[in-house]
C-alpha cells in the first residue's frame, strides 16, 4: 500500500495546471449511457474513481477508448447494454449510483448495488429512488441491490414535478439525466446548484437535451425521444484548486494555478483573503501569494451547499487554521462524520477539540512530523497540507483515498518545490 513521505518547511512557488473535476467527470461518463452515438470527453482526470467508473461502464457493454495527452476519452454505448452494476465494482465508489437514472431511461430496467465510498457519514439514495418513482419507475431494494423497471406497457419514464427533501448533488444529476429521455416535462425543485451540476447540464444540452435553470434551485427538463453524441471538456476541479490554495497559504509562497475557476470558489477565496492571503483572479487561472500560515489569521466558517463554503474544503482549511494565529470554530452541516482527520492532525501537534458538529481549533500550533493515516479523500489532503509545514518528516498512510480524487498530487506539489515522494 503506497504512502507519501513529506519533509516539511519548504515554501511553494511555481505553476501547476488544475485537472478536470472528478465530480463532473463521473456523471458525464455515465451520460454516455443515454445515447447510441459516441460521446467524447476532454480533460478527464486520471483518478482511481474514474478508472472504476470506466470498468463499470465497460462491464455494461460501453466501448471506451482513451486518447491524447489531456485526458481525452471516447465512450460508445451502441450495442446491447447489460444494465447491472455489481457490488464488486460499486462498493468502493458512491458515484456509481449515477448509472441508475441513465440505465432506467435508456433500457427500461436496471439493477444497481447500493454504493460505497468514503466513510464520512450517511449519504442516502432515497431521494434518487423517490424521484424516479415519481417519474413512473417501479423500484425495490433486494439483497442489497436497487432493482428498477418501467411498468408493463410503458417504454419511457414520464415527466414529473420532483421536490427533494434535501439538496443532493448526485440526486439532482441522476434525475436530470433520467428526465432527458422521459416523456413530457420534468421540474426539479430544491436542485443542487454546484458547478459540476451545471457542467453536466451543458454536456446534456450539447447532446440534444432541453434544459433550463441549471445553476439555480429549479431545473426544467423537456424530455426528448433520443439524444445524440457530442464533444465536451470537463470543467476544472474547484476542490483541487481550493486544496492548492490552502497548501500555498499554509506553506507560504506564490503560485499560479492554471485553468482554475475563481468564480467557483468565492466562499473559500473570501475566507483566505480575510486570513491575509493574496488571491488574484484571472480568466485563465488564479494567482495566490501567502506569507505562510504562522502569519495568517484563523477563520471560522460553517459548511453548506453551494454557493456556501464546501464541505469538501473543510478538512484542508482546518489544517490551515491549526497553524494560523487565533482561535476558530469549524461547523460541519453536510456530513455527520467528517471530522475523522482531527485526531490525525492532533498527532502532528494541532490543538483541536470537537463538540458535536463543531471543531474548535486553538491555532498557532507548531506541527512536527509523524506517521498519520488517511481516513477519507479530503482528510488525506488535509494531512498532506499539514505535512508540508510540519518540522521533520511526515508519512501519510493509506493514500489510495487521495488517488480517488487528486490527479498526481505529489507530482504537482513537487513542481511547486515541495519535498514529497510516493513510497510503494
Q: Is 270 annotated as a binding residue?
A: no
| Residue 248 and residue 225 in one domain | no
| DSSP letter assigned to residue 175 | H
What residues make up the domain containing 75? 22-233
User: Do 15 and 26 belong together in one domain?
Assistant: no
Q: What percent of the chain has pLDDT over 90?
A: 89
Mean pLDDT of the chain: 95
**pLDDT tens digits for range 346-404:** 999 999 999 999 999 999 999 999 999 999 999 999 999 999 999 999 999 999 999 98
Tally of domains within the chain: 2
Q: Shortest CA distance to 86 belongs to which of 117, 47, 60, 106? A: 60
pTM: 0.95
Catalytic residue among 107, 118, 206, 246: 118
* Residues 53, 180 within the same domain: yes
Q: Among 179, 207, 233, give the residue marking a domain's end.
A: 233
Whether residue 243 sits in one domain with residue 221: no
Which neighbouring-strand residues pair with 74? 40, 65
Strand 371-373 relative to strand 393-397, pairing: parallel
Is residue 278 helix, strand or coil?
Answer: strand
Domain stop point among 233, 261, 282: 233
The pLDDT tens digits of the residues spanning 218-250 come to 999 999 999 999 999 999 999 999 999 999 999
Residue 324, all three cell numbers: 494560523
The answer to whether 97 is a known ligand-binding residue is no
Q: In the numeric block, which cell numbers belong to residue 109? A: 430496467
Q: Is the pLDDT of residue 281 over 80?
A: yes
Residue 122 reports pLDDT greater than 80: no
Domain end (from 233, 262, 277)? 233
Same domain, 219 and 367: no
Question: Is residue 321 marked as binding?
Answer: no
CB proximity list for 356: less than 8 A, separation 6 or greater = none
Residue 126, annotated ligand binder? Answer: yes
Active-site annotation holds for 118? yes
Question: Which domain CATH number covers 100?
Answer: 3.65.10.10
Closest C-alpha among 123, 168, 120 to residue 380: 120
- Same domain membership, residue 210 and residue 128: yes
Confidence of residue 116 (pLDDT cuts 50, 70, 90): low
Q: Does residue 119 have a pLDDT over 80?
A: no
Do both 192 and 303 map to the same domain?
no
* 244 and 347 together in one domain: yes
Flag whether 334 is marked binding.
yes
Residue 251 and residue 224 share a domain: no
Does one domain contain both 78 and 142?
Answer: yes
Is 94 annotated for ligand binding? Answer: yes
127 is in an annotated binding site: yes
| Distance (Å, whole) CA 413 – CA 148 | 44
- Per-residue pLDDT for 94 more than 90? no
Q: How far apart are CA 308 and CA 194, in angstroms?
A: 10
Say if CB 59 and CB 86 are below 8 A apart: yes
CA angle 102, 107, 112 (to 5 degrees): 60
Residues 114, 221 within the same domain: yes
Instruction: Measure the CA–CA gap between 191 and 120, rounded to whole angstroms.
Output: 22
Residue 337 in marked binding region: no
pLDDT digits (tens, 9 = 90+) for 311-353: 999 999 999 999 999 999 999 999 877 899 999 999 999 999 9
Question: What is the secondary structure of 300-367 as a DSSP string?
Answer: -EEB-STTSB-GGGHHHHHHHHHHSBS-EEEE--S-TT--TTHHHHHHTT--EEEETTEEEE------
Q: Are residues 178 and 250 in the same domain?
A: no
For residues 138 and 83, what is the distance between their CA atoms, to the nearest angstrom? 15
Name residues whose C-beta falls within 8 Å of residue 201's C-beta, 6 or more positions apart in sequence: 176, 209, 211, 214, 215, 219
Query: Which residues, in sequence order, are CB contacts of 33 under 8 Å at separation 6+?
Result: 57, 60, 62, 77, 81, 99, 102, 103, 106
Amino acid at each position: 500500500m503506497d504512502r507519501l513521505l513529506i519533509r516539511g518547511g519548504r515554501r511553494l512557488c511555481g505553476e501547476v495546471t488544475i485537472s478536470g473535476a472528478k465530480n463532473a467527470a463521473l456523471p458525464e461518463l455515465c451520460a454516455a449511457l443515454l445515447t447510441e452515438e459516441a460521446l467524447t470527453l476532454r480533460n478527464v482526470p486520471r483518478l482511481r474513481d474514474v478508472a472504476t467508473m470506466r470498468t463499470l461502464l465497460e462491464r455494461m457493454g460501453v466501448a471506451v477508448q482513451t486518447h491524447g495527452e489531456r485526458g481525452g476519452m471516447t465512450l460508445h454505448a451502441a450495442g446491447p447494454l447489460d444494465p447491472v452494476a455489481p457490488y464488486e465494482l460499486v462498493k468502493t465508489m458512491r458515484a456509481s449510483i449515477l448509472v441508475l437514472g441513465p440505465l432506467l431511461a435508456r433500457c427500461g430496467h436496471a439493477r444497481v448495488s447500493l454504493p460505497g465510498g468514503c466513510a464520512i457519514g450517511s449519504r442516502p439514495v432515497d431521494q434518487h429512488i423517490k424521484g424516479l418513482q415519481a417519474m413512473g419507475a417501479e423500484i425495490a431494494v433486494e439483497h442489497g441491490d436497487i432493482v428498477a423497471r418501467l411498468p408493463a406497457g410503458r417504454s419511457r419514464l414520464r415527466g414529473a414535478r420532483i421536490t427533494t427533501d434535501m439538496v443532493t448533488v448526485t440526486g439532482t444529476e441522476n434525475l436530470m439525466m433520467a428526465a432527458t429521455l422521459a416523456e413530457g416535462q420534468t421540474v426539479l425543485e430544491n436542485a443542487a446548484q454546484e458547478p459540476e451540476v451545471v457542467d453536466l447540464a451543458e454536456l446534456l444540452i450539447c447532446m440534444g437535451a432541453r434544459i433550463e435553470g441549471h445553476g439555480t434551485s429549479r431545473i426544467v427538463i423537456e424530455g426528448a425521444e433520443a439524444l445524440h453524441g457530442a464533444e465536451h471538456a470537463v470543467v476544472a476541479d474547484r476542490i483541487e484548486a481550493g486544496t492548492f490554495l490552502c497548501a500555498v497559504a499554509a506553506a507560504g509562497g506564490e503560485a499560479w494555478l492554471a485553468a482554475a475557476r475563481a468564480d467557483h470558489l468565492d466562499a473559500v477565496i473570501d475566507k483566505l483573503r480575510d486570513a491575509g492571503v493574496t488571491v488574484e483572479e484571472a480568466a485563465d487561472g488564479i494567482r495566490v501569494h501567502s506569507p505562510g500560515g504562522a502569519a495568517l489569521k484563523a477563520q471560522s466558517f460553517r459548511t453548506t451547499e453551494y454557493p456556501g463554503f464546501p464541505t469538501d474544503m473543510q478538512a484542508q482549511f482546518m489544517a490551515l487554521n491549526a497553524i494560523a494565529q487565533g482561535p476558530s470554530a469549524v461547523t460541519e452541516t453536510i456530513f455527520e462524520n467528517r471530522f475523522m482527520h482531527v485526531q490525525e492532525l492532533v498527532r502532528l501537534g494541532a490543538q483541536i477539540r470537537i463538540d458535536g458538529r463543531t471543531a474548535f481549533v486553538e491555532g498557532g500550533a507548531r506541527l512536527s512530523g509523524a506517521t498519520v493515516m488517511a481516513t477519507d479523500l479530503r482528510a488525506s489532503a488535509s494531512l498532506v497540507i499539514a505535512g508540508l509545514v510540519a518540522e521533520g518528516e511526515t508519512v501519510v498512510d493509506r493514500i489510495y483515498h487521495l488517488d480517488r480524487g487528486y490527479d498526481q498530487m505529489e507530482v504537482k506539489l513537487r513542481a511547486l518545490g515541495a519535498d514529497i515522494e510516493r513510497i510503494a
